[in-house]
Amino acid sequence: MKSRLLRPLTLIGLLACLCAPVFAATTTSSLRKPAHHRFHRLHWTRWNPMFRPSHESLLIQNAEIDRMELPRIQDDDELEALKASGALQPIIPNEALRIAPSLDPSRRYCRPWTRDFVQDIAQAYYHRFNEQIQVNSAVRTVKVQKKLRRHNRNAAPAEGDTASSHLAGLTVDLQRRGMTQEQIHWMEQYLFYMKSLGLVEPEEERRQWCFHIMVSGRYAEWRETQDIVPVEPPQAGAVTAANAAGQ
């Protein structure tokens, strides 16, 4: 696992401190409101993601697609051509990664750097929690996106400057549902660090309960500069023996 990815992020603690007075004020005022108002207020405060979906985020995702001059995949013919050329790579399940059974096998593909990111975060998550991460969605075509919007009004458009970044194969949805607060916090820390480097643009979707993550093409270059280190430090005796052998 890369050593930089596991650094503690002080912003999380700062956000918790800033939110504490707001929560206290909400609790006090709720005592003077009817029960249904209290429930509504509590329900709202529970959903406080670090990466709330926004119009600005969609613009950032599309700007990266345009920067790399990637096509928005129109239909299955274009999708199959990109697979055949190697421009899209299959997402392979392993001990750290599973794929939702409902995801069409023909769409279990993404850009090579996105695949690398998924493998990296899945391995880090597995080493931390001994559990798999699940991929719920990957590449889509314009035809699929239009169909999705018929029954999900929160889905991004299939066209325009806020179109879904799934259409270019840069993006995956990782399941958030079922994660503990500790696991969600860990994911947010990981993604915050990657976002601060300009390597990902994440959103936490409420209706689908997933982490929607667009991976920048810069991730491939950044990944090559990172030193791979053991997740578990070697025993002291092994270190001494290795040093002696080197001398």
Whether pTM > 0.75 for this model: the answer is no
Whether the predicted pLDDT of 221 surpasses 60: yes
Mean pLDDT of 14-32: 41
Please write the tens of the pLDDT for every residue from 89-113.
999 999 999 999 999 999 999 999 9
Position 153 scores a pLDDT of 66
- Would you state the pLDDT for residue 70? 97
Per the CB < 8 A criterion, the answer to whether 12 and 239 are in contact is no
Confidence grade of residue 10 (pLDDT, cut at 50, 70, 90): very low
> How is 195-225 classified by DSSP, letter by letter?
HHTTSEEEEEETTTTEEEEEE-THHHHHHHT
What was the pLDDT predicted at 183?
97
Q: Is the pLDDT of residue 44 over 60?
A: no
Residue 154 burial (CB count, 10 A): 11
Higher pLDDT, 34 or 48: 48
Task: Give the CATH fold of the 51-224 domain.
Answer: Muramoyl-pentapeptide Carboxypeptidase; domain 2 (3.30.1380)
Higher pLDDT, 145 or 79: 79
How much is the mean pLDDT over the chain?
A: 80
Instruction: Give the pLDDT of residue 46.
Output: 66
Say what the pLDDT of residue 155 is: 77
Measured distance CA(201)–CA(237) in Å, rounded: 43
Going from N- to C-terminal start, the domains of the chain cover 51-224
